[in-house]
Amino acid sequence: MHATLDSIYQRVLDRNPGETEFHQAVREVLESIGPAVDKHPEYAQARIVERICEPERQIIFRVPWEDDDGNIHINRGFRVEFNSALGPYKGGLRFHPSVLLGTVKFLGFEQVFKNALTGLPIGGGKGGSDFDPRGRSDREVMRFCQSFMTELYRHLGEHTDVPAGDMGVGARELGFLFGQYKRITNRYESGVLTGKALVYGGAQVRREATGYGCTFFVERALQTRGDSLAGKDVVVSGAGNVALYTVEKVHQLGGRVVAVSDSSGVVHDPKGVDLELLKEIKEVRRERVSTYADQVGHAEFSSDRSIWDVPCQVALPSATQNELDADGARSLVRGGCLLVGEGANMPTTPDGVRVLRDAGVLFAPGKAANAGGVAASALEMQQNASRDSWTFEYSEQRLREIMVDVHDRCHATADEYGRPGDYVAGANIAGYARVAEAMLALGLV
Ligand code: GLU
C-alpha cells in the first residue's frame, strides 16, 4: 500500500478496535486509490482521505419493545451518517442479529463510494439494529419499528438523512417506519424514506432495482469482451430481494439460473430456477429454499454443499458479506466461471478476490455492481420531490442508463490509471475522486 495511505490505515485500525469488517472495507479502498492520491496532492493537503474514513456522525440508541406474550426485549439501534458532501446521507437499514457498530460502519463507508459512482446527488450513511425479524409476528415487527423510529426520527429528513431497506428491512418494515415518522412529526414527508410501497409514495422498479441493476452491469461487462448473458449458466447466492430480481433479469436476458441458496442450504435446479415458485416461497410464505426442492422433483437441496461448487459461467453472490472465500473462488474457477458480480455488499473476501483476479475472472465489485438499488432510491426521491410518479418502463430505462454509466465510469477510470479491466480500482478511484472534489469545494467542514 502507498506509504501515506498505509499510515492512515494504521490509524483507522487503532481508533476503531475490533471492527474487522470496517477495517476490511477501508483497506480495500486505500489499497487502490494510491495513484489518485499522487495525482492530486491538493486532496492530501486537505486531509481528504482521513476525513472520509471518519464518519460525520454516529448515533447509537436503545430500542425497547414488547413481544406478543408481554415479554420485554432490548435491542440496539444504529445510524452512521458517514458523508454528506454530495447530498443527504443515503443508505439502508439492516435488521439482523449479527449487526454491530462495525457492520454498520463498513456498510456506510461502502455506501459513500457507491453513491458517488451513481453520479446522483446522494451522500452516504447506513443504519440498522441487531433485532431479528425472523419468526416474529407482524405486530411484533410493527412494535419494534415504532420504537426504533421514536428515536431515529429526530436525525432524519428529506434533506438530511434518507434511509431505505437492506437485509431484514423490506416493504413491511418501511411501512411501519414511515407510519411512525409521520405520526411523530405530523408531516407527510414522502422523501424521508425510500423503498416505500407504491400506494404511499413508492417508485416503480425500486423493489427490482438492485437485482436488475447488477444484471445490467454484468451484461455490460460481458459486452466489453464481446460476450453476453444469453445461454450462460448462472448461480445466484441468496434468495432475498436482491437475488430474486437478479434471477428475473438474468432469465429475461437469456441466461439460466441453476442454483440459489439461503441460510438453510443450496438448491440446484439444472433446468433453471422456477422464479414464480421461488417468489411464492420466499416473499409470500416466508419459508426456506428447501421447500422448493420438495415441490420440484428434479431439483436437489443440500444443507452442506457450497453454492460455488455448482458449475457456472457467471456467479452473482447476493446474500451477505464474506460469503465467497478463497476455496469458493477456486471452485468457481474449476467450474469454468468467467465473471463474478457482487449483488451483496462485500460478499467476496480479499483472498477470494485475489484467486479470481489471478485466474483472469472478471470481477465486478458490489459498490459498482449493486449500485442500482440506491440509484433507484435517488429516482424515488426525485419523484417524491416533484410529486410525480413514473411508469415502470421509463423507470427501468433510467436505471439501465445509470448502470451503464456506472460501468463505463469504472471501466474508463481503470484504463486511465493503467489498470484495464480492473473494476475494483476503477470503482474506488472514480468514487473517491468525486467525493474528494466536493469535499474540497465545501471547505473544512
Ligand atoms: N441497502 C441498499 C444498498 O446497499 C440500498 C440503499 C438505499 O436505497 O438507500 O445500497
Helices (H) and strands (E) in the chain, counts: 18, 12
Q: What is the CA radius of gyration of the chain?
A: 21
| Per-residue model confidence (pLDDT) at position 400 | 98
pLDDT digits (tens, 9 = 90+) for 22-37: 999 999 999 999 999 9
Query: What's 32-54 look like in SS3?
Result: HCHHHHHHCHHHHHCCHHHHHHC
Decide: residue 209, CB within 10 A, 0-12 exposed, 13-18 middle, 19+ buried: buried
CA distances, 204 to each of 118, 165, 318, 380 (Å): 18, 15, 22, 8
What's the pLDDT at 98?
98
By mean pLDDT, which of 34-48, 86-100, 140-154, 238-252 is the weakest?
34-48
**Nearest-5° angle of CA 434, CA 56, CA 117?**
25
Testing ligand 1's pocket by substitution, the residue of 115, 377, 379, 381 carrying the most ligand atoms inside 8 A of its CB is 377
pLDDT tens digits along 385-419: 999 999 999 999 999 999 999 999 999 999 999 99
Q: Which residues line ligand 1 (CB under 6 A)?
A: 90-92, 164, 166, 194, 345, 373-374, 377
Reply yes or no on whether the pLDDT at 384 is more than 90: yes
Whose Cα sits closest to atom 10 in ligand 1?
A: 374
pTM of the model: 0.97
Average pLDDT over residues 212-223: 98
Distance (angstroms) between ligand 1 centre and the Cα of 241 equals 12
pLDDT of residue 126: 98
Outline where 61-170 has alpha helix (H): 101-117, 138-152
Report, as an integer, the average pLDDT of 61-71. Answer: 98
Mean pLDDT throughout 296-302? 96
Q: What's the whole-number mean pLDDT along residues 174-197?
A: 98
Residue 393 sits at φ, ψ, to 5 deg, of -65, -45
The rounded Å distance from CA 127 to ligand 1 centre is 10
* Average pLDDT across the chain, whole number: 97
CA atoms within 13 A on the CB side of 444: 5
Percent of the chain with pLDDT over 90: 99
Query: What pLDDT sits at residue 82?
Result: 98
Q: How many CB atoms lie within 10 A of CB 72?
A: 8
| Residue 1: band (very low, low, confident or very high) from pLDDT cuts 50, 70, 90 | confident
Residue 135 has pLDDT above 90, yes or no: yes
Can you list the domains of the chain with their CATH numbers? 1-53+422-445 (1.10.285.10), 55-187 (3.40.50.10860), 209-360 (3.40.50.720)
Which atom of ligand 1 is nearest to 114's Cα?
10
The H-or-E segment that residue 340 falls in is strand 339-341
pLDDT of the residue at 209: 98
DSSP state at residue 445: -
Query: At residue 288, what are phi and psi to the nearest 5 degrees?
Result: -90, 160
Position 44 scores a pLDDT of 86
Catalytic residue among 90, 114, 126, 249: 126
Its sign, for the CA torsion 118, 120, 125, 128, is negative
Please confirm, yes or no, whether 271 is among the known catalytic residues: no
Identify any residues that bridge with 260 across adjacent strands, giving them in sequence order. 267
Q: Which residue is it, cell 457498530?
A: 101
